[in-house]
Amino acid sequence: MEYFTLDLPASKTAEILGIERKTINNWYNYFRESIYRFCKKEEKEVLK
């Protein structure tokens, strides 16, 4: 999560951590989707 929040590319994060880039991309997508779902939920609550 740290490298995601620092806006590091997946390829650089994979290099630093020694993990496959595809794995990092999967995690980055998971983080993006989680943030999106959270924002949509908050939006619905604010617009009530």
pLDDT in tens, 2-23: 999 999 999 999 999 999 999 9
Q: Give pLDDT, residue 29.
A: 97
Please provide the DSSP assignment of 11-37 as one string. HHHHHHHT--HHHHHHHHHHHHHHHHH
Find all residues with CB under 8 Å of 15, minimum gap 6, and list them: none
Q: What is the pLDDT of residue 46?
A: 83
The average confidence (pLDDT) of the chain is 94
Predicted pLDDT at 12: 97
Predicted TM-score (pTM) of this structure = 0.83
CA-CA distances (angstroms) from residue 26 to 12, 34, 41, 42? 14, 12, 23, 24
